[in-house]
Amino acid sequence: MAGWFGNQPQYNQPQYNQPAYYQGQCPPSTVDQVTQSLGTASISDPIEYATQGRGMLTFPVNGPDLDGETFKNFWIAAHKNKAVDGVRLPPGEYHLKPPQDRDCHHMHLKCKSDGDDRTSPFILDLSNTFLWLTSKDNGGICVEEGENIELRGPFAICNNLDSWPFGQATLVSYNEQDLEWIVHGHDGYPNDRVFLKEGSLNAIVWDPATRLMKDPDVHDLGTRKIEKIGENQYKMTLSYTQEYGIKPGDYITARCAEGCSTLTLDSCKRITVLAMTIHTASCFGIYDSFSSGNVYRDCFILPYPRPIGNDGQLPLLSTNADGLHNADNAEGPKIINCFFGGLGDDAIAVRGHFAPVATACRGEKYVMTLEARCYLRAEKGEPIQLYGTEGEDLGEGKIASIEECHENVLDKDTKIKQFCINDAGTRPCTKIFVEEWPESWGDKVGLGCGAAYPSRCGAGFQALGCRVYNTRGRAILAKASRALIADNTFTHLKGAGIQVTPEYNCCEAGFVTDVTIRNNVIDSLALGIWVGGSTEAEGDKLPTPYRHNKNIVIENNSISHSQKTPFVVTSSAGVVVRNNTIRNCLPYRPDIDWDMRNSSWEVNGKQMFFKYISYLTLSNNRIFKDEPGDFSGDYLNPMEFCECSNVVQEPETCSTYPAYPTNTA
């Protein structure tokens, strides 16, 4: 593999401000030169150096290979030493070898080891480094139980070729009658490992001219069988008919069903990640869980910008799963001025979790939920929110204690249709005792109810000034209250631009309060903005008739070129929708029998759809077409209201809205 730094090929994507070293403005010296100049070559005992040092310490390197075990131990000693301000890795390219522990990441930054109680600021300076991950079975960087740590860039991370996380090919021919495709694998990609893996393959189709994902209605192509028929030649038998304009010459990417995240923040507080670029992730680009108040600024998740084989084919994907996935955080992250593209799923996801209820005992004041105790981080005094079997809000109780259950009381094949579970009796269980049994719970709590933990859903999340481009899933999937989503630009998505809904089928909570969606530009294939929620996991997931979302403001957003209902709000109370623009949406599709609805419960052709809403205020929303071509959408009566009450049309006003600061000063 040639060195990463230097001239790069041009490839089709929007322009953006790259870190200086991407543009060749400050190429790093070689590792050996930097090591000599810093005077670290003579350090014979790195651990002693970390234990006794002061200020910023430079990790002693000896060539381009970096041993993860040595770095892990150096980090632990330096972080524990409160006279040390941080650790610096000299500029250069490094091939990271993971530590000896199989469960460790390539660069594993443990922060509470061996009596370490540090909470004062600490820096990991990776400026002008490029980190190659050598194992597909280990994650990239992990910060474990860190507090007030800055990961300082610009730096970049990418998998080595032998651990590349996805396959890539060109469609040579297909037989629609037999549902058979013949594809030719691109050189350098792990096509045997990915294509021939047991089980169904999830593939994405791309336009070779534009390098954009094709058509909004098909997230993945499923396969029943794949066989190798020649050198880098494969025959794929599809699971169903594919009718969305796919033709020979189109590109195919296939995501692995296994993998690790490139950056993991586990149980951290106030971590700042500055100017990081991720080029490959075999699972999530960033996985941030059980944390609070982390910040991501000027970060990129984009496909690697050079061919990895000899046929000149550039990588199309950057991640197999979400770009930035935030789970069960006490305080949501702030994501500022970041750019994500080529993602295998959603760009930004912020959520808590639902736990299906197995049983409850009013007398002993406990609820038994189907979840492993280790994944429940709520503590004594925090709320537990329950929803009934029909989705009604049963109210909150206050947690008194939590116990792990050693026996599941349900039969093995117990079904819970609300969560699409067919083997409830095989799941781990946890008992949650409450201080007092709420009157609203009464005798309504039992099998099929849902439990959520409002203080662990990422409240306070912000996404400001971000860009998402050419992505399989949604730009933002937010299930967090007190959220601000503003000044973002989202283009060419196969999922929604902004979706604020819980998902029972994924056991992801929750409903939200006090959310503002403002000043966003969404030019995409799928729907633009969707706020609502269902308490069903199967079928068409009808929106719940209960007004669980409250105090939602959606203003001054622009949605264009959606081929599905562009704007949907359901199951909410206290909603303000004003000064939004919907432009050139719902075009006529002569090539196929096109359903413009996202779900069967919408009204076909409507541009703004409202259902189950109380206290809805509308003002100055513009819906129009100003481009040539035929449109199937309803531009004469573009709004539909189903079971809405207290709807107010305010006079039109000219309002200005603030642009939120995203500078990096």
Q: So where are the chain's domains?
A: 20-162+260-345, 166-255, 355-455, 457-649
The token duo for 221 is 């192509």
Q: Which of 401, 400, 397 is nearest to 383 (CA)?
A: 397
CB-CB contact of 288 with 327 (8 Å)? yes
CB-CB contact of 386 with 441 (8 Å)? yes
Q: Which of 69-83, 234-248, 411-425 has the highest mean pLDDT?
A: 69-83
Under the banding of pLDDT at 50, 70 and 90, the label for residue 40 is very low
Residue pointed to by tokens 């599941």: 408
Close Cβ partners of 589 (under 8 Å, ≥ 6 residues apart)? 563, 632
Q: Are β-strands 233-238 and 212-213 bridged in parallel, bridged antiparallel, or unpaired?
A: unpaired
How far CA 311 is from CA of 169, 183, 186, 229, in Å, comes to 11, 15, 7, 20
pLDDT at 658 over 90: no
pLDDT at 584 over 50: yes
Tell me, yes or no, if the two domains 166-255 and 457-649 fold the same way: no
Instruction: Give backbone dihedrals phi and psi of 275, rounded to 5 degrees, phi first.
Output: 60, 50
Under the banding of pLDDT at 50, 70 and 90, the label for residue 599 is confident
Domain 166-255 is found in CATH 3.40.50.720? no
pLDDT tens-digit map of 233-245: 999 988 876 666 7
pLDDT at 430 over 70: yes
Q: Is the omega angle on the peptide bond into residue 53 within 30 degrees of 0, that is, cis? A: no
CB-CB contact of 534 with 546 (8 Å)? no
The token duo for 121 is 């600021």
CB-CB contact of 4 with 304 (8 Å)? no
Q: Which of 56, 106, 114, 46 is nearest to 80 (CA)?
A: 114
H, E, C per residue of 457-502:
CCCCCEEECCEEEEECCCCEEECCCCCEEECCEEEEECCCCEEECC
Mean local confidence (pLDDT), 384-410: 94
Mean local confidence (pLDDT), 504-524: 94
Mean local confidence (pLDDT), 434-441: 98
Rounded distance between C-alpha atoms, residue 524 and residue 526, angstroms: 6
Which one-letter DSSP state was computed for residue 227?
A: E
pLDDT tens-digit map of 606-644: 999 999 999 999 999 999 999 998 999 999 999 999 999
Window from 106-115, 447-456, 586-595 with minimum mean pLDDT: 586-595
**pLDDT value of residue 56:** 97
Under the banding of pLDDT at 50, 70 and 90, the label for residue 590 is confident
Report the mean per-residue pLDDT for the chain: 89
**pLDDT value of residue 373:** 86
CB-CB contact of 90 with 33 (8 Å)? no
pLDDT tens-digit map of 284-325: 999 999 999 999 999 999 999 999 999 999 999 999 999 999
**pLDDT value of residue 244:** 64
pLDDT at 76 over 90: yes
Rounded distance between C-alpha atoms, residue 15 and residue 18, angstroms: 9
Which region holds residue 117: left if phi is over 0, alpha if psi is between -120 and 50, else beta? alpha
pTM score, two decimals? 0.91
The token duo for 435 is 């201080």
Under the banding of pLDDT at 50, 70 and 90, the label for residue 111 is very high
The sign of the torsion formed by the CA atoms of 499, 342, 255, 19 equals negative
Mean local confidence (pLDDT), 41-62: 86
**pLDDT value of residue 12:** 38
Q: Answer with the residue of higher pLDDT: 259 or 15.
A: 259
Under the banding of pLDDT at 50, 70 and 90, the label for residue 83 is very high
Mean local confidence (pLDDT), 98-118: 90
Close Cβ partners of 486 (under 8 Å, ≥ 6 residues apart)? 462, 463, 464, 465, 516, 517, 518, 519, 520, 660
Cα 568 from chain centre: 22
Mean local confidence (pLDDT), 246-270: 90
pLDDT tens-digit map of 212-224: 998 755 557 778 8
Q: Which of 322, 284, 279 is nearest to 302 (CA)?
A: 279
CB-CB contact of 602 with 566 (8 Å)? no
pLDDT tens-digit map of 158-214: 998 878 889 999 999 988 888 899 999 999 999 998 998 877 677 889 999 999 998
pLDDT at 103 over 70: yes
**pLDDT value of residue 162:** 78
CATH level 2 (architecture), domain 457-649? 3 Solenoid (2.160)
